[in-house]
Structure 1
């Protein structure tokens, strides 16, 4: 009799746990998105329909893949190529807000009264980004921001200029080998960015920690697929 009660209790516990997990999952991937879309629609803000359970992630991924596969004309208008979904949906649904006033931009970024909350990140995205400025608010954000202030202070940035200049000079020197040939500028500037980060933040060249950047890139790709 005692064994039967123990088994019943165990099954009840497992059932309640699974039920709670299911409710949380449905609340996150179905109820909240549908509720948010309904509220925005009531205010006249339209957009692409939400698709359970991945939202518009697959559609965005497909549009980006298609965009990158097409040849690009020589133009500075790269927004439709790198963010094709935003470009297409903005034109289709006419939902856009551009803030150009410096004081308003400052108010939004400072967000002292919490009017502009950040995206609630958890799971893979939270693990990838860690305790960063873009994932925290309140006192924790203030502490991290205070630590970052020193790094981005004008004097600190000035000390980084020689390393940045050296990285650019090396890139331009490397380009001389491609005279008369096409250069993948997207890839080259990606390498330049990682080289500058490596030198200014870690004191090493990109090639010394190339495998780390490659692993981070793979982790980022996996995270995006699972968000």
Structure 2
């Protein structure tokens, strides 16, 4: 009997390597080959799959080559920031297959198909999982949640971004913008002009507003926590450049250890702040303070806990699954605060930076926008909640900036099941890459001047700006449209209009045009701008333009 057992285990051990080998071959060779053949039969091709790495090496080579040096002052930036799409589109057409390791991604730039993915058949697709490094930084909040839990969190957080709530922030935003501009004026004292790296200043400005929106009266404590997260972002950005070194994020390098320590400190500090807010909420004064992000989450958590206590009575019919989906835990609030900071800060600061760069590059539109601001808001008064909606020219400028330089240049969805997309049969697990920036620069949708700065195309609104309603998707579309887009637009209009009241500006000689992607689209070498005070003659509103 013992001999039989010995032979049995010997057989199992000898077959184990073969089983592992078969699984590896299935995952990294046979399955990709089957998918490749499946799409080839439908006329969809792409660069050939390579064992284990897919097309990653070619993709990285194209990206490195494209970003190796600055580009001319042009808005034709797709070949630089989405180089692999530009290169392979010219070979295989707009819809092609590309391999990120053994994962198939089908590029989809047809606006009708994009509408199917985001709206008409959105239930068949889900957001893909973020890279673990990014997820560590941005948290497990709305940016990455899926299904019922995502829907529940969005419903709770949505009121934070209602316009009537955001308008309450305008005095706070205006004050922070004024403080920033006073510092710029002091830098100009005694000089005809001054060079300012605006991207750094705008990051600080948006941090202030985002912190106030997230934490309300606990602003100072929130500010210190978000400061830690800003430090962590630097370490994560560096680590992302080494994502193709297997297991690099687990290696205890000095910077990785620093990032891990910061992550623990951020979570610990947020938990303490959440507990303090819970204690405050039991007072009459605390009950009034629930319109910020943390307050809304705490209020929802208290409400769901009461429901679950009632549901725990016999025969309540409340299942453990439904309870876990609807409960708001301390961890949930921590993760949402982390997500809110990263998404809100980067999106808005990048929008402000690119809008300033574009107005510096195009003085004729800078002057048109300034004349409107002076006519509507005067030369010194901070733009009010009633004045901002009247700034039509500035709205056109901001929308054109979002078209040419969208914060996220692409987005990815994963097919949850076998599905048909515009006649194509898409197998479950296939990822669909929507190249937002390529759609925004497509001449067939935007005309012969698609790569030129022309805010006038938005003169009749967003819907009529292009040949298709899905041609303009800077904040996504459908259920997962960016929840903070109203905050980003409001802050951008307020800051830019205040700048236009005080200064004229142009690109500094040191400016190098080099749009680059690292999570979001940003200027690789910064955005140095030359500012000068407006002379009194330029702040006077001509009589025939008065309101």
Q: Which residue of 2 aligns with 1:29?
A: 28
Distance 1:113 1:57 in 2: 28
TM-score between both structures, scaled by the size of structure 2: 0.32
Worse overlay, 38-47 or 195-204: 195-204
TM-score between both structures, scaled by the size of structure 1: 0.66
Distance 2:23 2:9 in 1: 22
CA positional deviation for 1:98: 3.6
Distance 1:123 1:8 in 2: 42
Distance 2:125 2:156 in 1: 22
CA contact (8 A) 2:176 2:205 kept: no
CA positional deviation for 1:86: 0.8
- 3-state DSSP of counterpart to 1:114: helix
Q: Which residue of 1 aligns with 2:152?
A: 143
Distance 1:173 1:21 in 2: 63
Q: Which residue of 2 aligns with 1:75?
A: 74
Does the C-alpha gap of structure 1 residues 192 and 39 become closer, same or farther in structure 2, counting only changes over 3 Å? farther
Does the C-alpha gap of structure 1 residues 14 and 47 become closer, same or farther in structure 2, counting only changes over 3 Å? same
CA positional deviation for 1:81: 0.8
Does the C-alpha gap of structure 1 residues 211 and 146 become closer, same or farther in structure 2, counting only changes over 3 Å? same
- 3-state DSSP of counterpart to 2:123: coil
Q: Which residue of 2 aligns with 1:40?
A: 39
Q: Which residue of 1 aligns with 2:231?
A: 211
Q: Report whether the alignment pairs 1:200 with 2:210.
A: yes
CA positional deviation for 1:46: 1.7
Distance 1:123 1:92 in 2: 29
Distance 2:30 2:161 in 1: 41
CA positional deviation for 1:169: 7.7
CA positional deviation for 1:50: 1.2
Q: Which residue of 2 aligns with 1:52?
A: 51
Higher relative contact order, structure no. (Cα contacts within 8 Å, ≥ 6 residues apart): 2
Alignment of 1:129-208 (within 5 A): 131-133=140-142, 135-158=144-167, 162-163=172-173, 166=176, 170=180, 173=184, 189=199, 192-193=202-203, 196-197=206-207, 199-201=209-211, 203-204=222-223, 208=227
CA contact (8 A) 1:67 1:81 kept: yes
Distance 1:31 1:126 in 2: 30
CA contact (8 A) 2:130 2:144 kept: no
Does the C-alpha gap of structure 1 residues 6 and 108 become closer, same or farther in structure 2, counting only changes over 3 Å? same
Distance 1:34 1:134 in 2: 32
Q: Residues 95-150 of structure 1, C-alpha deviation per residue, up to 9 Å, x if partnerless? A: 2444547xx73x6335666333444x488479647645565543233234334434
Distance 2:24 2:231 in 1: 35
Distance 1:60 1:192 in 2: 32
CA positional deviation for 1:64: 1.0
Q: Which runs of 5+ in 1 are unaligned?
A: none
Does the C-alpha gap of structure 1 residues 167 and 2 become closer, same or farther in structure 2, counting only changes over 3 Å? farther
Q: Report whether the alignment pairs 1:221 with 2:241.
A: yes
CA positional deviation for 1:15: 5.7
CA positional deviation for 1:55: 0.9
Distance 1:2 1:78 in 2: 71
CA contact (8 A) 1:47 1:93 kept: yes
Q: Which residue of 1 aligns with 2:123?
A: 114
CA positional deviation for 1:65: 0.9
Q: Report whether the alignment pairs 1:90 with 2:86.
A: no
Q: Which has the larger radius of gyration?
A: 2
CA contact (8 A) 1:124 1:223 kept: no
CA contact (8 A) 1:108 1:116 kept: yes
Structure with a larger share of its residues in helix: 1
Distance 1:21 1:168 in 2: 64
Distance 2:143 2:123 in 1: 14
Distance 1:60 1:79 in 2: 14
Q: Residues 33-60 of structure 1, C-alpha deviation per residue, up to 9 Å, x if partnerless? A: 3222222111111211111111111211
Q: Report whether the alignment pairs 1:12 with 2:12.
A: yes
Q: How large is the RMSD of aligned CA atoms in angstroms? A: 4.7
- 3-state DSSP of counterpart to 2:223: coil
Q: Residues 163-220 of structure 1, C-alpha deviation per residue, up to 9 Å, x if partnerless? A: 498479849939979x687x88xxx648745862575156427993342111222343
- Residue-pair matches, total: 218
